[in-house]
Structure 1
Amino acid sequence: MFGSTPAEKKAAADTIETELEPNTKKAAEGAKENTSTAARTVDGWETASGLKKVTETWDQQVKTLMGRLSTEKASLRSASSLFVQNDVRTGDELRALSPKSRLEGL
């Protein structure tokens, strides 16, 4: 037995799409904007170049996180379908074996 039902997988994927992705993007943009504003405020100081570097690192980390969320969402949505397809195929294969052919192998 798997640890979650197809409905639970769908709900988790929907949560990623409707809550985690948009909220993460919004938070990331806010942090980037604040850091960029701070860098402009101290332009000409060593701190400004450090803040610009932090912003570049932040952008890469956010990109990685958003990619991971997207991958997890897609995996959740496809997992249920794959399990159902596998169950149906296995059932079809078992039904294809007639009682006669099962006895011949004994």
Structure 2
Amino acid sequence: MSPDLASSPAEKRAAAQAIEDRIEPGTRRAGEWADEDTGSAVRAFGARDGDGWLTSAALARTHRTWGDQVKNLMDRLGADKGALRDTHRVLTGTDLAVGSTLRRTSALDRF
């Protein structure tokens, strides 16, 4: 088993909390930082006299792609956080369901 694998309920809660407290806010800040700087660059290369640099349009497209990637990462982090928090409940429910069906039938019951 990997030494950094969170396997106990407490470790899973701590990992979910770390995503919520540190990773998601840091990712959001990084995305916002890129928004400001890229927006400035798009404006700097933009049209002033009716013509603009091709760089402006390329940066704008790249910025949209970056925004989509940040959104996808934030969605993934949220899903992982939820999965970490729900794992104990899901696994306990599965264990109880399997345990309740184990004794239903037995080959020895016919004798």
Q: Shorter-chain TM-score: which interval?
A: 0.7 to 0.9
Equivalence for 1:32: 35
Q: Distance in 1 between matches of 2:9 and 2:91?
A: 9
Equivalence for 1:12: 15
Contact 1:17 1:73 in 2 (8 A): yes
Contact 1:32 1:55 in 2 (8 A): yes
Q: Distance in 1 between matches of 2:94 and 2:42?
A: 55
Q: Distance in 1 between matches of 2:87 and 2:30?
A: 29
Among the aligned pairs, what percent are the same residue? 40
String of CA shifts for 1:50-96, please: whole Å, max 9, x gaps.
Answer: 110111100111111111001111111101111223334555x38xx
Number of aligned residue pairs = 99
Backbone CA RMSD of aligned residues: 2.3
How far does residue 11 in structure 1 lie from its aligned partner after superposition? 0.7
Within 5 A, what are the aligned runs for 1:1-106? 4-43=7-46, 44-90=52-98, 93=100, 105=109
Q: Distance in 2 between matches of 1:63 and 1:78?
A: 22
Contact 1:32 1:58 in 2 (8 A): no
How far does residue 33 in structure 1 lie from its aligned partner after superposition? 1.1
Name the structure where helix makes up a greater proportion of residues: 1
SS across alignment from 1:72: helix
SS across alignment from 1:75: helix
TM-score, normalised via structure 2 length: 0.76
Provide structure 2 residue ranges, at least 5 long, that are not aligned to the other structure.
Answer: 47-51
Q: Distance in 2 between matches of 1:6 and 1:62?
A: 29
TM-score, normalised via structure 1 length: 0.80
